[in-house]
């Protein structure tokens, strides 16, 4: 919990920042800023689960500390519309006692997500554009334009009575942006001259030297693909990569190909972007995925979801010939125009293998320049830091080694003029009164969302799923005489997912006789108590498998009283 302040400072208002996610991992970006009774949440992000979390749809930060502030969360401020910045908004919404601020596109994407959860986005969503300001209690909120891999992205400046706090959001310094809207270098420099108390800066690409390329840099590589492909072109990209989608639409029109969007997410996002004027498609260019078969393969280009190898995404189903409307042929080309999120490489490789089995050509950024990052590399991070010239700097967005490297480079850039605070999720960063410091911790963690993103996965459920995935399930079915407490007939044993090698087969053969002995040794009280007998059978059978077969299956006894 928050450290107890010194008596001399107890009555003074405190400016504190608590990261709930994004400092120690990629994703779940969420930062709480508090001044007096004003509590502002900057971003409400989620993270997609890795293979170690079977059956989990989404991971969000633990909101326990926020729940203690019900009625005090004054506003949510969204920097842009990527899932790792808006995905947890429906779970924050019930804890909100004020508006949600974002740019029009960001709020449209977030609003669709809120509506899916049964919330009315018009109730509290308030659009702001870059350069706009508004008041939240004693804090003035300012949006500053930045460039990223999608339109309508901003950094946030919070003008508090204790000083200005700047949050970079996700950014790169793209000098030839697709939409012509460049990062507002002048405003960052002006804030730096006026004085910035603290700067929270994106660390995603700190390990990449130099400068990140412009979004337009993918055009030559993709143009080569369109010029050379004899069959259908399928491009896998993030559903929110609207700049990339715009380039692909222009190329499809240039090379006389119809354009189809394949996958629920990409269809939804392009519809929203088109409605708001962020995406313009020439008349007659777009076709539905159900119409793909009506056109020659050489006259069709598809943009599909599934660049990360997600099993149920459109590209994964296309790769195994399981999609209703898209089938790959030997002359087709499949392009992965997205970075591989750490942990997804194996799943992506499997999808690529399936595509190769269909005879289609697979292209990715290692073979051709078909992707560029949306995050600034080291020199861009240094440049923005030198413009802002904060009193305190806190690296955000990334695993700890990225934050540590950003902290090291920041110390070198500022020559010691800036104090670097290297924080993690849950640290209470006190910026005022007194010197900036880590003043304590609050409880943080992760909440696992299951199925249709409607249920929370607890530790026990996750442990059971891991057992099922690794060692399968064993279901002993036992009939017990209710009056005498003895087994009637031989127990039956069913298994699912259990590897049947020599050791496990021997154990399974011995289980019926062994169960008879276990129940025979049980006390009369245990044999007459269904729950006690069930638990005894479960524990003893798990011990038998562990000792004799080295396995840990999930054991689910079924005891029938006759």
Q: Give the global pTM.
A: 0.81
Say whether both 441 and 470 belong to one domain: no
Say whether both 379 and 467 belong to one domain: no
Residue 149 lies in a domain: yes
* 152 is an active site residue: no
Looking at residue 465, its pLDDT comes to 56
d(Cα 370, Cα 222) in Å, to the nearest integer? Answer: 6
428, 455, 482 — which closes off a domain?
455
22 phi, psi to nearest 5 deg? 95, -10
Distances (CA, A) of 313 to 63, 70, 305, 317, 348: 29, 37, 6, 7, 12
Say whether both 256 and 108 belong to one domain: no
Say whether both 465 and 556 belong to one domain: yes
Say whether both 33 and 171 belong to one domain: yes
Structural contact between residues 328 and 321, judged by C-beta atoms closer than 8 angstroms: yes
Say whether both 76 and 148 belong to one domain: yes
Q: Which domain holds residue 283?
A: 215-363
Structural contact between residues 178 and 167, judged by C-beta atoms closer than 8 angstroms: no
Tokens of 295: 């056109």
The one-character DSSP state at 482 is T
Give the lowest-confidence range in 33-42, 131-140, 463-472, 495-504: 463-472
The two beta strands, 258-262 and 300-304, are parallel
Residue 1 lies in a domain: no
Helix (H, G, I), strand (E, B) or coil at 300: strand
Helix (H, G, I), strand (E, B) or coil at 530: helix
Say whether both 165 and 50 belong to one domain: yes
* 202 is an active site residue: yes
Structural contact between residues 192 and 168, judged by C-beta atoms closer than 8 angstroms: no
Residue 172 lies in a domain: yes
Convert the pLDDT of each residue in 17-48 to its tens digit: 999 999 999 999 999 999 999 999 999 999 88
Say whether both 59 and 205 belong to one domain: yes
Say whether both 242 and 199 belong to one domain: no
Number of domains in the chain: 3
Looking at residue 462, its pLDDT comes to 53
Residue 440 lies in a domain: yes
| Tally of CB atoms within 10 A around 190 | 12
Query: Of how many residues is the chain composed?
Result: 562
455, 478, 496 — which closes off a domain?
455
Looking at residue 513, its pLDDT comes to 83
Residue 546 lies in a domain: yes
- Which residue among 152, 170, 184, 202 is the active-site one? 202
CATH number (domain holding residue 336):
3.40.50.10710
d(Cα 423, Cα 16) in Å, to the nearest integer? Answer: 13
Residue 369 lies in a domain: no
Say whether both 200 and 130 belong to one domain: yes
Structural contact between residues 360 and 229, judged by C-beta atoms closer than 8 angstroms: no
Residue 2 lies in a domain: no
Say whether both 11 and 141 belong to one domain: yes
> Residue 328: which of 287, 304, 361, 350 has the closest Cα?
361
Tokens of 445: 């963690």
CATH number (domain holding residue 441):
3.60.15.10
| pLDDT, mean of residues 498-514 | 78
Convert the pLDDT of each residue in 254-307 to its tens digit: 999 999 999 999 999 999 999 999 999 999 999 999 999 999 999 999 999 999
- Which residue among 65, 82, 85, 375 is the active-site one? 375
Looking at residue 483, its pLDDT comes to 67
d(Cα 154, Cα 143) in Å, to the nearest integer? Answer: 6
Residue 348 lies in a domain: yes
């Amino acid at each position: 919990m928050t450290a107890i302040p010194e008596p001399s400072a107890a009555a003074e208002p405190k400016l504190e920042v608590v990261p709930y996610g994004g400092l120690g991992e990629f994703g779940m970006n969420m930062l709480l800023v508090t001044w007096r009774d004003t509590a502002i949440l900057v971003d409400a992000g989620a993270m997609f689960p890795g293979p170690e979390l079977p059956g989990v749809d989404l991971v969000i930060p633990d909101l326990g500390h926020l729940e203690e502030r019900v009625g005090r969360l004054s506003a949510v401020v969204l920097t842009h519309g990527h899932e790792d910045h808006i995905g947890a908004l429906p779970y924050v919404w019930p804890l909100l006692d004020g508006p949600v601020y974002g740019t029009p596109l960001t709020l449209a994407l977030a609003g669709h997500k809120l509506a899916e959860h049964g919330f009315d986005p018009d109730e509290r969503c308030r659009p702001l554009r870059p350069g706009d300001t508004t008041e939240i209690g004693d804090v003035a909120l300012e949006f500053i334009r930045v460039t990223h891999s999608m339109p309508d992205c901003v950094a946030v400046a919070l003008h508090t009575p204790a000083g200005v706090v700047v949050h970079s959001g996700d950014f790169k310094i793209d000098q030839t942006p697709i939409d012509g809207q460049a990062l507002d270098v002048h405003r960052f420099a002006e804030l730096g001259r006026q004085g910035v108390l603290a700067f929270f800066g994106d660390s995603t690409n700190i390990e990449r030297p130099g400068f990140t390329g412009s979004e337009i840099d993918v055009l030559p590589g993709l143009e080569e693909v369109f010029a050379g492909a004899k069959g259908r072109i399928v491009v896998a990209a993030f559903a929110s990569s609207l700049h990339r989608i715009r380039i692909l639409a222009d190329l499809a029109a240039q090379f006389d190909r119809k354009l189809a969007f394949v996958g629920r997410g990409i269809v939804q996002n392009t519809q929203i972007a088109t409605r708001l004027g962020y995406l313009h498609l020439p008349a007659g260019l777009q076709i539905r995925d159900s119409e793909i078969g009506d056109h020659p393969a050489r006259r069709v280009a598809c943009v599909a979801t599934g660049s990360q190898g997600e099993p149920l995404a459109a590209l994964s189903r296309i790769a195994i010939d399981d999609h209703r409307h898209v089938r790959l042929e030997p002359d087709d080309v499949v392009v992965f125009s997205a970075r591989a999120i750490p942990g997804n490489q194996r799943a992506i490789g499997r999808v690529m293998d399936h595509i190769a089995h269909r005879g289609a050509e697979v292209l990715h950024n290692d073979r051709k320049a078909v992707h560029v990052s949306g995050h600034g590399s080291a020199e861009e991070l240094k440049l923005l830091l030198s413009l802002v010239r904060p009193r305190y700097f806190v690296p955000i967005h990334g695993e700890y080694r990225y934050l540590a490297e950003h902290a090291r480079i920041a110390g070198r850039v500022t020559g010691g003029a800036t104090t670097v605070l290297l924080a993690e999720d849950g640290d209470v960063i006190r910026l005022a009164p007194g010197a900036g410091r880590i003043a304590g911790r609050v409880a943080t963690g992760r909440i696992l969302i299951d199925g249709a993103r409607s249920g929370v996965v607890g530790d026990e459920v996750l442990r059971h799923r891991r057992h099922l995935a690794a060692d399968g399930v064993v279901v002993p079915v036992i009939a017990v005489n209710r009056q005498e407490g003895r087994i009637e007939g031989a127990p039956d044993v069913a298994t699912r997912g259990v590897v049947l090698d020599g050791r496990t087969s021997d154990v399974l053969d011995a289980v019926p006789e062994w169960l008879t002995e276990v129940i025979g040794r049980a006390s009369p009280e245990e044999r007459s108590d269904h729950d006690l007998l069930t638990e005894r059978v479960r524990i003893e059978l798990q011990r038998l498998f562990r000792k004799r077969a080295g396995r840990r299956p999930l054991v689910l006894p079924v005891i029938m009283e006759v």
